[in-house]
Amino acid sequence: MATQLFEGKEHASYYQKFRFEPSQEIIDLIFSYVDERLPKPYGFAVDVGCGTGQSTRILSPYFKKVLGTDISEAQIEEAKKALGFSNVTYSACPAEEVPVGDASVDLLTACAAVHWFNIEKFLTEVDRILKPRGCLAFFSYLPHMEVHYKDRSEQMTEVFTEVEDILSPYQHEKVHHVKTGYKEIFEAIPYTDKRRIESVVTKIRVPLTGLMGLIQTFSMFQTYLRTEPEKAKEMIRTVEQRFLHIMGTSSTETEVEVWLRNILVLASKPQ
Ligand SMILES: C[S@@+](CC[C@H](N)C(=O)[O-])C[C@H]1O[C@@H](n2cnc3c(N)ncnc32)[C@H](O)[C@@H]1O
C-alpha cells in the first residue's frame, strides 16, 4: 500500500529533520488566490497528508485554527513535537475521511501528498468540507532537481540525476501524477474556478548533510533501503563522497543550493 511508505518511525524522524518548508513564492501565490475569494480574517485551514507538519505550521499565522492530518501515526507523532504553534492541532486519519464538519474549511492544502490519495474519494471529501468559496491548494516539487555549487553545478546536478536514475525502479506508480504535473488531478477537480501553475522555481541553501538527508526522505529511497539495505547505504556514502570531491572540500557542512521546480494547483468551490 502506498501509504505504508511513510509508516516507519525512523523515516518520520528524517522527515522532521530534512524536509523543506513550502517556499515563500508558493505561499504568496496561494494567499493572493485566497485573498481574492475569501473575506479576512480566515477561520480554519486543513493540511492533509501533513507528514511531520512542515507544510502545516506555515499556515498558523494566517488562520484562527489549523488542523494537520496524516494517515501515518509515526508522522503525526513527530509533527506534535514542534512547539510554539498554539492554534495548530493534528489528527491521524485518512485523507478520504477528514474529521471536520461539512462546509467548515476556508483553505485545504496538500503538499507533496495528494498523489498518494484515492483521488476520487478525496475530492468528494474536499467538496464536503470546504465552505462555499473555500479554496484548495495542491502542490509539490517536481523531479529533476538541480544542485548548484560555485562553477560546479553541472557536475553536481549530474550526480543528483544519477541518484534519481538508481532510485527510479523503486518509485511508486502514483508518482506519475507528479511527473505529469498533476494534470489528471487538475482535470478531476469538479470546479470551474481553478488554475495550474508550473513555473515556480524555489532555490534553497542547505548544507550538504541537508541534501543527503533530503534524498533519504524520498519514498523511493525508503523502498530501496527496505529491498537492498546494504546497497542503499553504500549509495549514500558514495554519493556524499562524490559531491565532496566535486566541491573540493571535506566538510559536509558546506552549503549547496538546491533548485526545485514546483507544481501548484489552486481551485475554489462555487458559492
Ligand atoms: C511526501 S509526504 C508529504 C508530507 C508533508 N506534507 C511535507 O510537505 O513534508 C506525503 C504524506 O502523505 C501521507 N499520506 C499518504 N497517503 C495518505 C492518505 N490516504 N491519507 C492521509 N495521508 C496520507 C503520508 O503518510 C505522508 O506523510
pLDDT for position 249: 98
Tell me which DSSP letter residue 102 carries: T
The residue written with cell numbers 479554496 in the block is 135
pLDDT bin (cut points 50, 70, 90) of residue 4 is low
Q: How far, in Å, CA of 51 to CA of 16, rounded? A: 8
pLDDT for position 79: 96
pLDDT tens digit string along 204-235? 999 999 999 999 999 999 999 999 999 999 99
Where b means 16+ CB within 10 Å and e means fewer, 174-206 reads ebebbeebbeebbeebeeebeebeeebebebeb
pLDDT tens digit string along 146-182? 999 999 999 999 999 999 999 999 999 999 999 999 9
Q: Which CATH number fits domain 2-268: 3.40.50.150, 3.30.70.270, 3.40.50.300, 3.40.50.720?
A: 3.40.50.150
Ligand 1: nearest atom to the Cα of 95: 20
pLDDT tens digit string along 183-210? 999 999 999 999 999 989 999 999 999 9
Q: How far is the CA of 95 from the centre of ligand 1 (A)?
A: 9
Q: Which residue of 18, 50, 177 sits with most ligand 1 atoms within 8 Å of its CB, as the best mutation to test the pocket?
A: 50
Nearest-CA residue for atom 13 of ligand 1: 49
Q: What is the mean pLDDT of the chain?
A: 95
Q: Is the CB–ligand 1 distance for residue 182 below 6 Å?
A: no
pLDDT for position 16: 75
pLDDT tens digit string along 38-51? 999 999 999 999 99
pLDDT for position 2: 54
Tell me which DSSP letter residue 19 carries: P
Q: What H or E segment, with its residue span, contains residue 204?
A: strand 201-207
Residue 137 burial by CB count (10 A; 0-12/13-18/19+): exposed, middle or buried?
Answer: buried
Question: What share of the chain in percent tops pLDDT 90?
Answer: 91
Ligand 1: nearest atom to the Cα of 15: 9
Whether the per-residue pLDDT at 3 is higher than 60: the answer is no
Residue type, 252: T
Q: How far apart are the first and last CA of the chain?
A: 37
pLDDT bin (cut points 50, 70, 90) of residue 133 is very high
pLDDT for position 5: 67
